[in-house]
Amino acid sequence: MNAGTPRGQGYRMPPEWHAREATWMAWPKESDVWSGGIAEVEAAFLKMIEVLSADEVVHLLVDDAAARRRASGLLRDSDADASKVLFHEVVTRDVWVRDYGPNFLIGTEKARPAKAWNHWRFNAWGNKYPELLPDGEVNAHLAKALPETCFKPGVVLEGGSIDVDGEGLCLTTEQCLLHPNRNGGWTKEQWEECLRDYLGVAGVLWLKGGIAGDDTDGHVDDVARFAGPGLVVAAVEDDPEDDNHLVLTENRLRLGAAKDGVGRELDMITVPMPEPLFDVDRRLPASYLNFYIAPKAVLVPVFGCRQDVKALSTLGSVFRGRKMVGIDARVLVRGMGAVHCVTHEEPSVSAESPTAGKGKG
């Protein structure tokens, strides 16, 4: 164990249901990504902020004073608690703060101060979008608003590619982390050492890959998510003719054979995939698993199809005590992401929330 790493200094990445201090988001702007639908994108962001601001601070990145005025005006006319929205004038190229934002860590007794963060490298999902590369420097511009203790692994890693259970296990996919367009094709052994050192986990659960249409090369937050200690929700596609059927079946088999961070078999609950969505001839990466766990709610992407009701009901049975809030993500997914992709949690240093997912029982 390297003493200069988060693990060596007593830090770890907590799970998403850990007690929360804030959520970070980046306000959307007109671009070709949204195909003229910026008003719909703003409406989706306003609905998310309304829910989040009821129980926590929302840090909102805006490009400049004009963007701040527009966002402020829309927030005042919404049901959001505008007093809990803190603006940061920092230029961003896009809204996917999950992937380029700060990866927060909390400390054990020996860690001082009690909160830190990782500044991973961001290369726009394998250099697919050179115009978005400057988002890799957003955190440096936010330094005064972030914890003083910062670790720089020098490694490309996006927040949507990992998930942790809070008890020592990290969930990811081979398709993404082993792809040569990130770190020259790191091995599993290299990644496992890195994730142990910088996330404070004990082990890594490797799934096969992500869903069709996903330009991130298989982010895990579209296929499987931890919902509580020993509890995982997994996407399934029953249609054998669908492009997602084989990979999601393989993922589910691996989850069924896995143990959690303390050696228990995982309790797995399945969630159906939505009907396929297309933008002209391009399949879009639509998945209900791209949800975001808020203190008293779960923001769930919905897609205007028959599976929406079942997905909301299933997740409601998992996250009992939290309200399921459907966010129309059809416009978001045209930009190749959804709810989890545009949010990033900042944990508090208090004890973990007792209202994580509870499973079937």
Q: Which residues are catalytic?
A: 341
What is the full DSSP assignment across 107-176? Answer: E-TT-SSSEEEE--B--HHHHT-GGGGGGGGHHHHTGGGS-S-EE---SB--GGG-EE-SSSEEEEEHHH
* Spatial separation of the C-alpha atoms in residues 21 and 44, rounded to whole Å: 22
Pairing of strands 169-173, 163-164: antiparallel
* Spatial separation of the C-alpha atoms in residues 101 and 340, rounded to whole Å: 12
Residues 6+ apart with CB under 8 A from 108: 10, 11, 12
* Spatial separation of the C-alpha atoms in residues 286 and 327, rounded to whole Å: 13
Residue 162, judged by CB atoms within 10 A of its CB (0-12, 13-18, 19+), counts as buried
* Spatial separation of the C-alpha atoms in residues 333 and 99, rounded to whole Å: 15
